[in-house]
Structure 1
């Protein structure tokens, strides 16, 4: 499999009463696939995984893998502090037919952080399940993942193939990771809504994991850059950057849900407590910034 292009995280839609909107979930998947993406990630932080019960996780995993039905690869996020739970989630995803699992290192709250040895061992055990793994290096975990540790993991854990780097100074880390890891780093990816995409591509990233708001506008930047069309990619990035900046700095995971509600993809942009709804002015500016891009999300459901 070629790991390149744009692999967005899809949001989890809820009804206004906070219950899962399973039909809306199918529409989210269909809309995202219609954006021409290279893969889809579910149950990640931008899917509000920390607000979803274990039973709901199982329901969503099964629904998403079955509904996508091989149209694009599906990445299932399986992060948890307890290694047996992560392994169980990996096996469940594999049994359902998922293509990849994504996981952060073990952490719980601000103080319980996995050591290098604990992180390595958790990924090693998941690797034994026999499904490709994407490591997510995100500030949320608070776990330090130095390049030598990542290179060791890549070389010694056969199924660890993808690396989503979205820590501070991501481009510098990507550049060193690729230089030191060589062929063991099969898929160096950019994250964090593509707020650092251009620098990360310049550092050697082969793909990105954005939100599901405007991946149809972001994917061409990756394609152009990898094809050597540097000026075209830079111009394309300049075009979308105001929207990406507003999403990253002001809206977070609420952005894709709001855009999908406005575009008729889902009926509600509800987020479970304690997440507050977007301020009306913030939400209005989001649409103001993405409308000139004519993204599919604003037209798909109309």
Structure 2
């Protein structure tokens, strides 16, 4: 089961498809092995970058079971179960937890406006997935349009013992991490794991503010693992140097709309998935954009001078 001590890098997995849009379970197994070989301490599936809203309920369950089976207990698997209604959330949660998931991730719906509405929603969601099911708060206001202050997050944590992790994706949000860590360090708030998203765009600084690692996707997850490990070892300069080498592609992947297409293209080029296809409707990369990506990949993979 997922606990509040979780740390490291939980790689957000895309959902592999064949060119015709069918689930590609063969690539799913290969992707799992590649991410574990890169040093992932956990995997997260069916998130926003996993195209979860484009999957039918039976497809979501099939994909989750395939990943959990391929992982075979080596690392925890978190499954995104965000849904428009609690019935669908409850059904998927029950299925994936029975299959061996370590916990679930829940994002707030866009209609929530007040602090009390947000806190009440998570209380109801915790009941829907089961009070014994560990859950992750997904705080991604740039997408959900729901703003959660540190005080609101603290209320959710204190009122729900099954809340064990915050996926932090606010932007700017470094001071939010600082506020939450100060509260837990002083005993005012139960400490939970904080893993950060946003494609890793601020990862070294997030680690310096007290984050426990990353829960995000990037086409070279070994960079995320390397940065987290170097920061834990107190090797700040080396961590930033590694991060800076990848930053141009991280930034390119972070573009709204086209980012997942970029990531899947690189994963295909690296032999991790067979097709870069997204479920329709989806953007298509232009030849000019592909040329940009190839240039960025060549710069990352070029041996350093003197190496």
Same fold (TM over 0.5): yes
Instruction: Give CA-to-partner distance per residue, 1:13-47, whole Å, 9 cap, x none.
Output: 11111111111111111211111111111111111
Q: TM-score if structure 1 supplies the norm length?
A: 0.90
CA distance in 2, matches of 1:167, 1:33: 27
SS at match of 2:31: helix
Residue among 28, 34, 53 paired with 2:31: 28
Instruction: Give CA-to-partner distance per residue, 1:115-155, whole Å, 9 cap, x none.
Output: 22432323431563412211110121111212111101112
* 1:204 partnered with 2:206: no
User: Structure 1 regions of 5+ residues with no counterpart?
Assistant: 296-302
Residue among 238, 247, 262 paired with 2:244: 238
Q: TM-score if structure 2 supplies the norm length?
A: 0.88
SS at match of 1:188: strand
Per the alignment, residue 259 of structure 1 pairs with 266
CA distance in 2, matches of 1:185, 1:104: 20
SS at match of 2:279: coil
Residue among 227, 236, 240 paired with 1:221: 227
* 1:14 partnered with 2:17: yes
Is residue 178–residue 188 contact of structure 1 (8 Å, CA) maintained in 2? no
Instruction: Give CA-to-partner distance per residue, 1:84-140, whole Å, 9 cap, x none.
Output: 322222222211111121110133xxxx33622432323431563412211110121
Per the alignment, residue 163 of structure 1 pairs with 166
CA distance in 2, matches of 1:254, 1:9: 15
Instruction: Give CA-to-partner distance per residue, 1:183-234, whole Å, 9 cap, x none.
Output: 6232111101001112211211111012141110121111111221112212
Residue among 100, 106, 117 paired with 1:103: 106
Q: CA RMSD in A?
A: 1.9
CA distance in 1, matches of 2:301, 2:37: 14
Q: How far off its partner does 1:286 sit?
A: 2.0
Is residue 127–residue 158 contact of structure 1 (8 Å, CA) maintained in 2? no
Q: How far off its partner does 1:257 sit?
A: 1.4
* 1:136 partnered with 2:131: no
Question: Number of aligned pairs?
Answer: 291
Residues 76 and 174 of structure 1, relative CA distance in 2, 3 Å threshold: same
Q: How far off its partner does 1:288 sit?
A: 2.1
Is residue 89–residue 129 contact of structure 2 (8 Å, CA) maintained in 1? no
CA distance in 1, matches of 2:85, 2:7: 31
* 1:149 partnered with 2:156: no
User: Structure 2 regions of 5+ residues with no counterpart?
Assistant: 303-307
CA distance in 1, matches of 2:112, 2:293: 35
Is residue 197–residue 216 contact of structure 2 (8 Å, CA) maintained in 1? yes
The runs of 4+ residues in structure 1 deviating greater than 6 Å are none
Residues 156 and 268 of structure 1, relative CA distance in 2, 3 Å threshold: same
Q: Choose 8-17 or 119-128, whichever is displaced more.
A: 119-128
Per the alignment, residue 282 of structure 2 pairs with 275
